[in-house]
Amino acid sequence: MDTQKVIEQALKVSVTTKALEFGENILDRIPFVMDKFFPGSKAIVFADKITWKIAGERVYEELEKAKKEVSSYIITDDHFHPDWKYIEKLDEVIEEKRGILIAVGSGVINDLAKLASFRHGQQYICVATVASVDGYTANIAAINDERGAKVSFKCLPPLAIVADSKVLSGAPAFMNAAGYADLSSKISSAAEWMIADLFGTEHIHQGAWNLIQGSLRDMLGDPDGVRTGRPDAVEKLFLGLALAGVGMEYSGDTRCVACAEHQYSHYLDMTHHTFNSRPVSHGFQVAIGELAICAFFEALFTFDLSKLDVEKCVEVWPSLEQEQARALELFKDFPIPRLGYDEITKKWQPKEEIRVQLQLLRDSWPEFKQKLQAQVMPVRELQSLFLRVGAPTMPEQIGLSNKELRKITDCVQMMRWRINVLDLAKRASIYDEMMDKVFGPGGVFEIK
């Protein structure tokens, strides 16, 4: 894989991000990036205590050395969340210094800088410190608003991202492992996109597909290198995560980066799941979701759908009222009891449409199956990659039993209006059988 070529392709289609500076020991490029995109502007280096030490201080010094006007704002709290008080503080800092933010950090620091800059109608630079999430280049920031409720604010991604592989590879191994798992979710979510495309509910955006899928296998190809912090392996991983955000903005949708596997993570977040009294990282939650979805695909491939009795499936297809009642029952103890009801109301389709979808499925099988097989990874192979990178390979490693995973799966099918592999199984009347293959005797997640 030619990193520079991939970067060029990304920048060609990227709407907001205009520079992806990648390489080893490249923090000295920051003054040039400032000059190129924000000529004459003052810089405000924004970091927390840890990221200041990792890269912030260096960034500050490089700017001083280049005789740029620079100040800093460092969050000194040991533990902090993306709370509104920091947005207010950043508002003050930006107004007082009249400068451009250089966010040194991932997750919270980047999200805070993203929203604060957007509120002032200005853009910013992001210096990445860890390859743990794919939100760097997304056009949303997750912030706790004035009431304390987590809200996704629409804003603009960074104008420039500076990813020093030396810095990224120094991050704790478990954080980069989480990023690896998050990136791996682009395997099954794309296969589910193929199903949605076949069923006519969401067509494939070829540009975003090519951008994200083009080098995906290569980016996931060195789990040992990611674990041991080899700069080239971590750089590739980070690039994959950055492309996800670019693809989202390009296609105007999250369809190109996530599907059912991410719903497992949302479910665990919404139910405040903890393991050893701590929340589980987004990437590790997604790891288990990805393994589950890949296991369902593997089970799906054992069915010969070319012999599907379409009329029989259509006959037993439930009414919207039945599905709504099922959703209310399934989600009755969930923090948002109406969630399943609302989403299945959007997702449910009448018998005539189900008939057409199933005929398409039957008539295109086994070619369609082959295409799906080429896209998803056998679950054992994925487990071995996760083992090598240091991500969880079984639900118990994030504090879930196989039985709980099975239960969450029923909710995942209903949690989002997007068509996924579970919906295909429901339509083809093979859902229960498919679950048995995964959770029954001899299954990957056998319930004992």
User: Which residue, 62 or 182, has its beta carbon nearer to Zn ion?
Assistant: 182
Q: How far is it, in rounded angstroms, from Cα 234 to Cα 247?
A: 20
User: Which residue, 136 or 199, has its beta carbon nearer to Zn ion?
Assistant: 136
Environment class of 20 (CB within 10 Å of its CB; exposed 0-12, middle 13-18, buried 19+): buried
Q: How far is the CB of 189 from Zn ion (least distance, A)?
A: 10
Q: How far is the CB of 70 from Zn ion (least distance, A)?
A: 33
User: Which residue, 263 or 383, has its beta carbon nearer to Zn ion?
Assistant: 263
- Work out whether 111 is an interface residue with Zn ion (CB under 5 A): no
Amino acid present at 179: G
Site stretch for Zn ion (CB under 5 A), options 2-10, 175-183, 193-201, 417-425: 175-183
Q: Which residue is nearest to Zn ion (CB)?
A: 182
User: Which residue, 102 or 178, has its beta carbon nearer to Zn ion?
Assistant: 178
Site stretch for Zn ion (CB under 5 A), options 95-103, 178-186, 374-382, 398-406: 178-186
User: Which residue, 47 or 287, has its beta carbon nearer to Zn ion?
Assistant: 287
Number of residues forming the site for Zn ion (CB under 5 A): 1
Q: How far is it, in rounded angstroms, from Cα 71 to Cα 78?
A: 22
Q: How far is the CB of 53 from Zn ion (least distance, A)?
A: 27
Site stretch for Zn ion (CB under 5 A), options 180-188, 222-230, 315-323, 326-334: 180-188
Strand partners, 23: 164
Q: How far is the CB of 442 from Zn ion (least distance, A)?
A: 31
User: Which residue, 163 or 305, has its beta carbon nearer to Zn ion?
Assistant: 163
Cα 278 to its chain centre, rounded Å, is: 21
Site stretch for Zn ion (CB under 5 A), options 83-91, 177-185, 290-298, 325-333: 177-185
Q: How far is the CB of 133 from Zn ion (least distance, A)?
A: 6
Could you say which DSSP state residue 83 is in?
A: B
Chain positions 23 to 82 lying near Zn ion, rule: CB under 5 A, are: none
| Residue 12 CB neighbours (<10 A) | 11
3-state secondary structure of 58: helix
Q: How far is the CB of 313 from Zn ion (least distance, A)?
A: 33
Among 164, 182, 249, 290, binds Zn ion (CB under 5 A): 182
User: Which residue, 99 or 157, has its beta carbon nearer to Zn ion?
Assistant: 157
Q: Which residues contact 5 (CB under 8 A, 6 or more apart)?
A: none
Site stretch for Zn ion (CB under 5 A), options 46-54, 176-184, 427-435, 438-446: 176-184
| Contact call for residues 27 and 164 (beta carbons, < 8 A) | yes
Q: Which residues contact 168 (CB under 8 A, 6 or more apart)?
A: 128, 129, 130, 131, 176, 231, 234, 235, 238
DSSP code string of 124-158: -EEE------S-TT-SEEEEE-TTS-EEEEE----
Here the tokens at position 8 are 């060029």
DSSP code string of 155-220: ----SEEEEEHHHHHTS-HHHHHHHHHHHHHHHHHHHHHHHHHHHTSS---HHHHHHHHTTHHHHT
Environment class of 380 (CB within 10 Å of its CB; exposed 0-12, middle 13-18, buried 19+): middle
User: Which residue, 313 or 408, has its beta carbon nearer to Zn ion?
Assistant: 408
Q: How far is the CB of 77 from Zn ion (least distance, A)?
A: 25
User: Which residue, 231 or 390, has its beta carbon nearer to Zn ion?
Assistant: 390
Q: Which residues in this chain contact Zn ion in the complex, by CB under 5 A?
A: 182
